[in-house]
């Protein structure tokens, strides 16, 4: 009768230990799903917000580049007065409008006077107005520094989008690994808690049987060793769980950059394997082929090559001679409507280095950079394709392994239950029961570890895809 009572007690405890999360604790706690967790990280994590700043920086760069085409007002006033004599008073003002193809429109007004005024600065008493245009006929007509900067700034917007995704995906990957480690340690802690309770109950039951003379005193030592061993494992798993929770809390933030600590009332999602691929959007990739042409790394490299191509055109344009032609119509303010075209000012500026070594060297250097970036692009395409193929195989293999590990756990549970039945008939011993239970614990730890590897492998595929949105 005593053996039957002990068996029923052990068997009921074993049934509780079959679940890594104690059912009695669930009504008092709340599940914190992986999808909810990633939502918090995407919305509030400071590094994800920093990644979004890449777009703002690119917009600021574009604004600065467009500023080179802003109209400009210039005023230059210079006056000298000495011993009651006005040597000179010179006022030069202008309004310039830069245009796309290097052409510049300019309106001006000059008013100069003075006893020692330079004759070339002499203008009518009412002043002199001008309206003119400046045209580069060689270098700078079809492309110049302003045009190149603006084109590159527009490309920087695309580059900023790609870099934002790469920065954000790195944070989300680390956050995912932290969540899975929390789940792994939580399951181990729950498992050790149950087996610690089992070991304590056995220890007390054996002590009771020893007092009644139905067990040897040495069995108390055996049960005590098992109990102490389970206590040690429980304490170790408790420490690991605490560290995992603190690591997870690093990724939990609220609005206004307020850090959030993981509550004791929260526990990880129980069946992530059923939802992880949908959450990470890797389910379509596992079923179909994935085009890497839209990958942020590919987009970033292609954009950098396009920006280098703009530099190449600018360097090639520098091989042309610099010829700037300017014309300005001149008129007194009161006669501005008379259109006397015989009053004008023209100018031509020509320069050209004889050997053009600086320009040719700059062009070759840019061409080498384009070739280098093209090689990197081809290599990145191949590496990404191979990474995706390899990771898909890893996920498939780990999925099979975790199912096998689950079957092994069930088999070890059957062996333990069988050993406990034999114990009730006096055909087994506490040592064999503890041995079977240790094997079961090892199998469960292996199953937990394989599930964790399966989750992380999906996150690695998510990281390779680099699509955090």
**372 — pLDDT class (breaks 50, 70, 90):** very high
How many angstroms separate the Cα of 112 from the Cα of each of 74, 93, 330, 331, 334? 16, 11, 15, 15, 17
**Cβ(391)–Cβ(453) below 8 Å:** no
**Cβ(3)–Cβ(206) below 8 Å:** no
For the stretch 80-101, pLDDT in tens is 888 888 888 999 999 999 988 8
User: What is the number of residues in the chain?
Assistant: 469
**286 — pLDDT class (breaks 50, 70, 90):** low
DSSP H or E segment with residue 200 = helix 145-211
DSSP E strands in 291-448: the ranges are 322-331, 344-351
Q: What angle is formed at CA 342 by the lines to CA 338 and CA 345, rounded to 5 degrees?
A: 110
* CB neighbour class for 448 (10 Å; exposed up to 12, middle 13-18, buried from 19): buried
- 76: helix, strand or coil: strand
What was the pLDDT predicted at 7? 40
Q: How far is CA 273 from the centre of its chain?
A: 24
What was the pLDDT predicted at 418? 87
The predicted model gives 315-319 an average pLDDT of 91
Q: Please check the confidence at residue 309 and state whether its pLDDT lies above 90.
A: yes
Delimiting residues of CATH 1.20.1600.10 domain(s) in the chain: 41-70+142-319+356-465
Nearest-CA neighbor of 409 among 448, 374, 358? Answer: 448
pTM above 0.75, yes or no: yes
The predicted model gives 317-325 an average pLDDT of 91
For the stretch 28-81, pLDDT in tens is 678 899 999 998 898 888 888 888 888 888 888 888 888 888 899 999 999 988
The CATH superfamily label for domain 41-70+142-319+356-465 reads: Outer membrane efflux proteins (OEP) (1.20.1600.10)
For the stretch 326-359, pLDDT in tens is 999 888 887 655 566 788 889 999 999 999 899 8
Q: What angle is formed at CA 340 by the lines to CA 337 and CA 346, rounded to 5 degrees?
A: 115
For the stretch 8-24, pLDDT in tens is 344 444 444 444 433 33
């Amino acid at each position: 009768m005593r053996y039957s009572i002990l068996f029923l007690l052990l068997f009921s405890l074993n049934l509780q230990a079959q679940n890594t999360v104690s059912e009695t604790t669930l009504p008092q706690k709340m599940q914190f799903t992986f999808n909810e967790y990633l939502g918090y990280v995407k919305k509030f994590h400071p590094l994800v917000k920093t990644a979004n700043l890449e777009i703002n920086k690119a917009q600021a760069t574009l604004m600065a580049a467009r500023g080179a085409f802003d109209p400009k007002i210039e005023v230059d006033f210079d006056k000298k007065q000495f011993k009651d004599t006005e040597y000179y008073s010179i006022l030069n003002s202008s309004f310039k409008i830069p245009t796309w193809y290097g052409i510049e429109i300019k309106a001006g007004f000059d008013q100069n006077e003075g006893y020692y005024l330079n004759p070339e600065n002499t203008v009518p008493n009412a002043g002199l107005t001008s309206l003119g245009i400046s045209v580069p006929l060689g270098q700078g007509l079809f492309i110049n520094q302003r045009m190149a900067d603006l084109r590159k700034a527009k490309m920087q917007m695309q580059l900023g989008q790609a870099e934002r995704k790469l920065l954000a995906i790195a944070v989300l990957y680390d956050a995912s690994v932290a969540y899975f480690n929390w789940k792994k340690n939580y399951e181990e802690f729950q498992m050790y808690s149950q087996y610690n309770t089992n070991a304590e109950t056995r220890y007390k039951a054996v002590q009771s049987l020893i007092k009644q003379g139905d067990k040897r005193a040495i069995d108390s030592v055996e049960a005590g060793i098992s109990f102490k061993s389970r206590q040690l494992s429980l304490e170790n798993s408790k420490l690991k769980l605490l560290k995992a929770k603190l690591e997870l809390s690093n990724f939990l933030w609220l609005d206004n950059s307020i850090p959030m600590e993981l509550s004791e009332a929260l526990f990880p999602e129980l069946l992530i394997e059923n939802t992880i691929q949908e959450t990470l959007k890797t389910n379509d990739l596992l079923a179909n082929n994935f085009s890497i042409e839209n990958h942020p790394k590919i987009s970033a490299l292609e954009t950098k090559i396009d920006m280098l191509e703009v530099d190449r055109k600018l360097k090639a344009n520098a091989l042309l001679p610099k010829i700037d032609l300017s014309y300005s119509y001149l008129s007194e303010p009161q006669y501005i409507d008379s259109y006397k075209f015989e009053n004008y000012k023209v100018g031509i500026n020509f320069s050209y280095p004889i050997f053009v070594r600086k320009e040719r060297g700059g062009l070759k250097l840019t061409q080498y950079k384009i070739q280098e970036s093209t090689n990197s692009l081809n290599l990145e395409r191949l590496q990404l394709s191979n990474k995706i193929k390899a990771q898909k195989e890893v996920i498939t293999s780990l999925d099979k392994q975790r199912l096998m590990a689950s079957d092994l756990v069930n088999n070890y549970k059957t062996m333990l239950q069988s050993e406990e039945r034999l114990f009730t008939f006096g055909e087994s011993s506490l040592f064999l029961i503890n041995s079977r239970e240790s094997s079961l614990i090892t199998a469960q730890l292996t199953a937990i570890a394989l599930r964790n590897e399966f989750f992380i492998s999906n996150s690695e595929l998510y990281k390779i895809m680099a699509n955090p949105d």
